[in-house]
Chain A
Amino acid sequence: MTENSYDVIIVGSGPAGVSAAFPLLDAGLRVLLLDGGREPRLLPPAGPLLEWRAGDAQQWRTMVGSSYYALRKLDAVSPKLRSPTHEYVFVDFESENRVRGEEFVAVGSLARGGLSNAWGGGVACLSELELARLPFSAEEIMPSYAAVARRIGISGAQDDDLSDYFGLDAWAGQPPAMGAVQSRLLYNYAARRNAMTSAGFRIGRSRAAVLTARHDEREACDSTGNCLWGCRRRALYSAVEDLAVLRRHPGFSYRPGFVVREIGGDHLCRTVAGDSAGGLFRFQASRILLAAGTLASTRLALRALGGPREAPLQSCPTAVCVLWAPRFLGRQHENEFGFGQLSFTLALSGGTTGYGSLFCTTGIPVSEFVRHVPMRSRYGIDVLKALLSSCVIGNLFLPGNFTRATVRLDADGTLEVRGDYATELPALMSEARAALRRNFRRLGAVMLPGSFTIGHPGSDIHYTGSLPMRYAPKPGETTPEGELRDVEGVHVVDGAVLDVLTEKPHTMTIMANADRIARKVAQKFRGVSAE
């Protein structure tokens, strides 16, 4: 074996890549992990949000960016994608990986740790019923869910109406402190619980990959409220945390700044070729695990299959709205945990479930709202100044099958992503809007008129199902071990192989599945060496 030869090469250091690495290393395999290697150049703020907002003359470098990044990215789908602290997460992905969205938001990452650097942290397990739609048993993935949850550190455990829905309280810590408005909503819910649950509306604490107790070097959330820009205390999980642990492992090699262009070789020996600062490089391994993120992995897989090809893609339709609790009018802003504090589920017609979370407004720039208020900005700001502290932001996700999208590998090697919402979506969204308005009114919050806004297709960035796992895969599909049919030795371990995209947060399932596949791959090696 040459120096450039490994047992397994993992492409991508995001949540899927690092999750796959652990079982392989535990099995004594030599693992090489490749990633785009982009690193942050701007740290998130250190102190409590309102303190630096009130006193820091240089706060614009964080909020707007000294090269006006937030203003250049006005068309990006969410404030998180405009944050100058996250510029490195998204930069150059489309050009380097040759991915192009047509009327579809196509986002990916070349960063160390991938998209998890800008993750909102929502976690959930698929239910047994949902898992039954995947080509493996629930028993097979539950240990992986447990391993991932313990490793990354999650919180939000509470004996509430969403406990079963999230299904991971066994591994979760206490939820972070809750703000006044959301506490009141939950209190009002408790008083009307029976009526509301029978109307198909449930509320509970959000389960999230945020620490509420110290976890090795990472500190617990202290509600400084800077979540949008990132957490200095490292309470929010990013795959970078796992990468740091992996790098201490003797069997682990890491090659950052490497963009894979091609998968080659045969079933005996696989190669990846790609660019690094020093030029073109080639690495060999018995097996390749693709964890570059659904879009980039799909492109590499389709190229390995040879020839132009189409594949389906799922993504969750989304919406946001502003909910106003009049009882809190005139309240002073307070520092609060910036991501979901409360979550809800909503039963819609046809057995569809909607899921969403509520966010405190303090940690979101007011300018994000001003341009959506149908008033002159001078007076819009007056209104928001008076109103926002008594508002929460709600988001909504619907299952991925309501997006009809496809990816297509063009003759020139570009992956084109196009798609639209299903025809039944507008009606479903209207129903959801009405139900949210009705249910939150009962809880004492008014949905501000005109605030319910449906996101662009793809703006959820939950892309899955392009290379679905099947018991009997057809060309372009994968085995239950994520192995690409007709390209032996190449496994896909990220969202691309999951063709069950529910309304729930799906990142934990991607990570657990990567862990599950890696365990299977490790078994194959054990089988070979036993022979």
Chain B
Amino acid sequence: MKFLITGATGYIGQRLLCNALAAGHAVVALSRSVPRCFDVDWLHFDFDQDGDIDLPPDVATVIHLAAHTQGGVSDPAGEMRGAQRVIRAARRAGAQLVFVSSQAAREDAPTDYGRTKWRIEQEMLSAQGVVVRPGLVYGGPERALFGVLVSAVRSVPVIPAFLPAPRVQPIHVDDLAEVLLTIVRDGISGPRVFCVGAPSPILFSDFLRSVAMDRLRVRRWPVPIPVVAVRMAARYLGWELGSRLGLVRLTSLFDLPVMQTQADLDGIGVELRDLSSGMARSGNGARRTLIREGVALLAYIMRTSPAPILVRRYARGIEAIRGGRPLGLSRILLAVPPLLALLESPGAAAGHSPGKAGELAMRLHIAVALAESSPQGAQRFLGLGAASGAARSLVRLGWAAVCEAAWRVLHAIVAPALRRAGWR
């Protein structure tokens, strides 16, 4: 089954094209220039042209990604006309329509950008199209808004902590591509709107911090900046310069409606990678996250920092036998491993309990087995070379019992929060 992508050379378009070809789809690319991505049928498409687009007869789906930008300046009217041409062409060919819109799309959006997206959405929906509203798209090549943000963090020694703090719902560009490919593959028809992005919004400044830490591996301190100042700057600089500097897109982030994405993601059946994994240059920072996870779990078990080789064995092991997805431990847990005692529930037998608690039990068992099988572990587990004796052992037993009891009490106190976070 063939499908057609408009804007195939854009940030999302290029990744979608590559992933679609890799998945064995037949794709026609519609763009101004020839896509750089291997062997693909190409049709010329330009917003500034008029007249009908002739689709190849066997195109079953049209994914509309193209946005009219010229030198960074958007042109709402041109974009609208282009979208209408695509809709007409798809209708004539009897093809399913999928439109990639924006979280900012609203009838009363404060920016032209958001209002244009909303108007196109309406046309798409009335043509039985599917609308996908992604949150903040990130990862992969440094292009589009993501590219602006990365280069900003790279060149400025601080990261702005906007006040009031805006929240974003990031989605990795490859996860978005997977969403789109799933919609095509399953033949989901409209009119329907899918909201996709991290189910719980995160602070925009945390997003930027992840750009610094996980992508660029630099340290950046947050500096508070009132949103009002950015708005005023955008107004003062005017539409054109503001667009070019990315201020227009930036201001569109400031009053994003929160999207309920979990149900839509579940419905499509796509699970988003976590931010720190996606932010890595490879698009899969899972290994680095696993390394951090391994350090925490091994330190929790061994009561000392684990040898690097053990941590690598842990990460490789999780990749080899647990699918390689990080547990998603919070920064606090990664920094203070003894706190893992709050999450561990001894009732969850390794490999036999469902959910995050069961997976944690399994990974702790893996960490225990790997930790033990090392000279460092022989000391920790067998007490080799250490002083022993009945009195010392009694104290050790008593202390372990006291600690266990204390954590049980704490565990019970925070149980509701753990349940909410899926740890019980």
Q: Interface residues, chain A, CB within 8 Å of chain B? A: 50, 53-57, 59-60, 62-64, 67-68, 70-72, 74-75, 329-333, 362, 365-367, 370-371, 373-389
Given A331-B388, A385-B382: A367 and B374 interface contact (C-beta under 8 Å): no
Which residues on A sit within 8 Å (CB–CB) of B313? Answer: 60
Q: Are B380 and A381 in contact, CB atoms less than 8 angstroms apart?
A: yes
Given A68-B320, A375-B400, A379-B400: A365 and B369 interface contact (C-beta under 8 Å): yes
Which residues on B sit within 8 Å (CB–CB) of A374? Answer: 346-347
Q: What are 26 contact pairs spanning A and B, CB under 8 A?
A: A59-B373, A63-B369, A63-B372, A68-B321, A71-B369, A74-B351, A330-B388, A332-B388, A333-B384, A366-B368, A366-B381, A367-B372, A376-B346, A377-B346, A377-B364, A377-B368, A378-B301, A379-B400, A379-B403, A379-B407, A380-B400, A381-B381, A383-B397, A385-B380, A386-B392, A386-B394
Q: Are B404 and A376 in contact, CB atoms less than 8 angstroms apart?
A: yes
Within 8 Å of chain A (Cβ to Cβ): is B338? yes
Most chain A CB atoms below 10 A, which of B350, B372, B380, B390:
B372
Within 8 Å of chain A (Cβ to Cβ): is B349? yes
> Which B266-311 residues sit within 8 Å CB-CB of chain A?
300-301, 303, 309
Known: A53-B375, A57-B309, A380-B346. 10 other contacts (CB 8 A): A53-B384, A62-B373, A64-B369, A71-B321, A371-B361, A374-B346, A377-B368, A380-B400, A386-B383, A386-B397
Quick one: closest A residue to B395, CB to CB? A386
Select A370's contact among B338, B368, B378, beta carbons within 8 Å: B368
A373 to B361, CA, bound (A): 12
Within 8 Å of chain A (Cβ to Cβ): is B327? no
Which residues on A sit within 8 Å (CB–CB) of B240? Answer: none
Which residues on B sit within 8 Å (CB–CB) of A56? Answer: 375
> Which B299-355 residues sit within 8 Å CB-CB of chain A?
300-301, 303, 309, 313, 317, 320-321, 338, 340-341, 344, 346-347, 349-351
Q: Are A383 and B400 in contact, CB atoms less than 8 angstroms apart?
A: yes
A374 to B345, CA, bound (A): 9
Which residues on A sit within 8 Å (CB–CB) of B366? Answer: 68, 71
Which residues on B sit within 8 Å (CB–CB) of A375? Answer: 346, 400, 404
A374 to B380, CA, bound (A): 19
Given A68-B317, A74-B351, A366-B381: A378 and B373 interface contact (C-beta under 8 Å): no
A307 to B252, CA, bound (A): 75
Q: Are A329 and B390 in contact, CB atoms less than 8 angstroms apart?
A: yes
Q: Are B372 and A330 in contact, CB atoms less than 8 angstroms apart?
A: no
Which residues on A sit within 8 Å (CB–CB) of B390? Answer: 329-330
Q: Are B300 and A378 in contact, CB atoms less than 8 angstroms apart?
A: yes
Q: Are B369 and A70 in contact, CB atoms less than 8 angstroms apart?
A: yes
Q: Are A367 and B365 in contact, CB atoms less than 8 angstroms apart?
A: yes
Select B341's contact among A50, A72, A75, A376, beta carbons within 8 Å: A376
Task: Tell me how far the C-beta of A261 lies from the nearest C-beta in chain B, rounded to whole angstroms.
Answer: 33
> Which B377-424 residues sit within 8 Å CB-CB of chain A?
378-385, 388-394, 396-397, 399-401, 403-404, 407
Task: Tell me how far the C-beta of A67 lies from the nearest C-beta in chain B, rounded to whole angstroms.
Answer: 7
Which residues on B sit within 8 Å (CB–CB) of A370? Answer: 365, 368
Within 8 Å of chain A (Cβ to Cβ): is B60? no
Q: Are B300 and A371 in contact, CB atoms less than 8 angstroms apart?
A: no
Nearest 4 CB-CB pairs, A to B? A60-B373, A382-B400, A63-B373, A330-B390
Which residues on B sit within 8 Å (CB–CB) of A67? Answer: 320
Given A57-B375, A332-B388, A378-B303: A386 and B393 interface contact (C-beta under 8 Å): yes
Within 8 Å of chain A (Cβ to Cβ): is B370? yes
Most chain A CB atoms below 10 A, which of B340, B341, B390:
B390
Quick one: closest A residue to B342, CB to CB? A376
Given A63-B369, A67-B320, A370-B368: A387 and B380 interface contact (C-beta under 8 Å): no
Q: Are B369 and A367 in contact, CB atoms less than 8 angstroms apart?
A: yes
Which residues on A sit within 8 Å (CB–CB) of B361? Answer: 371
A67 to B373, CA, bound (A): 14
Quick one: closest A residue to B361, CB to CB? A371
Q: Are A376 and B374 in contact, CB atoms less than 8 angstroms apart?
A: no
Task: Tell me how far the C-beta of B172 lies from the nearest C-beta in chain A, rounded to whole angstroms.
Answer: 28
Q: Are B392 and A330 in contact, CB atoms less than 8 angstroms apart?
A: yes
Q: Are A60 and B349 in contact, CB atoms less than 8 angstroms apart?
A: no
Which residues on A sit within 8 Å (CB–CB) of B320? Answer: 67-68
Task: Tell me how far the C-beta of B300 lies from the nearest C-beta in chain A, rounded to whole angstroms.
Answer: 6
Task: Tell me how far the C-beta of A314 lies from the nearest C-beta in chain B, rounded to whole angstroms.
Answer: 28
A73 to B399, CA, bound (A): 33
